[in-house]
Amino acid sequence: MDMKIDPNSGEEWAYRRRDDAASERVLVRALHRQGQKFRADIRHLSGDKVGLEENVPRGRLHVPWDEVGDYDALMEGLGRLRAEALTKAEESALWKATALLLPPEVAELFASPVDEALLIHDQPRFEPLIGQSLSVLQHEFAWILYDGKTCLSPRGSLRVAELLCRKNPAPVLEVVMAEEAEAREKSKHGGTVTSFESNELLPTSPDLEYKFYLERHKPVHEILRHWCGYQAVTDHERLLAAEGEIHRLDTLLASALTSLRHVNKHQADTLADEHENERITPYAIRPIPERPLQPHEIPVIRIPARRQWWR
């Protein structure tokens, strides 16, 4: 992590030819700015390059030499995190799940310096979201302290996404179903793609859209469904099937009542009112305890009795 200060002539700084190379002790001899470019003349003070002078980019000078210990430790930690690379499908599923379920003020994914590493800003709010202690994740996966906050490795981020989906699967499954419905339409009728040259929408064939779905979308959807769990997926699909069947029966009944009104309008209206007023809804089916009625609140029902013939 580079400091937000610029080197001055005569100062000793840590120089790295590459981010993964070892830090070298150098003396800054002069600085040059040409437009947007900022370069420095340096002289090596250690290793087999002692006395060698070079002109290097400013970005290769990272921290003053007296801070090189902390900087090297940080770079070593970042290197451990970078070693846990993810597949393209895992990356897409990770970003999709965290965007839906993880507020950025609680934790956010890195795009740099380590792709898909998770920086946790608010641990007290983070742990209830995943239903697990952060210390468990720190024991299972690589992590470092970055700006005083816990930063999990990409594999740790993947585990967090799975815990989020398992705890709150509905929003994820809704997005998956919506994307699959869109892909199904495109696989039947084709779609459009934006041209890089003209920025215009160009038509695509159904075959191309189906191939794109198999390569890009389907692996991501399978990962997300796996994270949500078999039971959640089954319950969600049964709910959607039930809602679809209710809509189908409502449409069928409306058509039948329209035909019945030509024969018996009163019976058709009665059936329509009964269908609407006696719907079974979550609020109607939920058993809600009610206060017992007091004796004076119980309505009196009078049942007329048939008089005897001798009275």
Query: How far is Cα 260 from Cα 298, in angstroms, rounded to an integer?
Result: 40
Query: Which residue reads 């859209």 in tokens?
Result: 209
Domain boundaries, the chain: 12-79, 80-165, 235-280
CA atoms within 13 A on the CB side of 286: 5
Q: What is the pLDDT of residues 105-150, one digit of tens each?
A: 999 998 878 889 999 999 999 999 999 999 999 999 999 998 889 9
Q: What is the pLDDT of residues 154-210, one digit of tens each?
A: 999 999 999 999 999 999 999 998 999 899 899 988 998 888 788 888 899 999 999
Residue pair 53/43 in contact by the 8 Å Cβ criterion:
yes
Query: How far is Cα 217 from Cα 249, in angstroms, rounded to an integer?
Result: 33
**Nearest of 212, 97, 237, 104 to residue 157 by alpha carbon:** 97
Q: Which pTM does this prediction carry?
A: 0.67
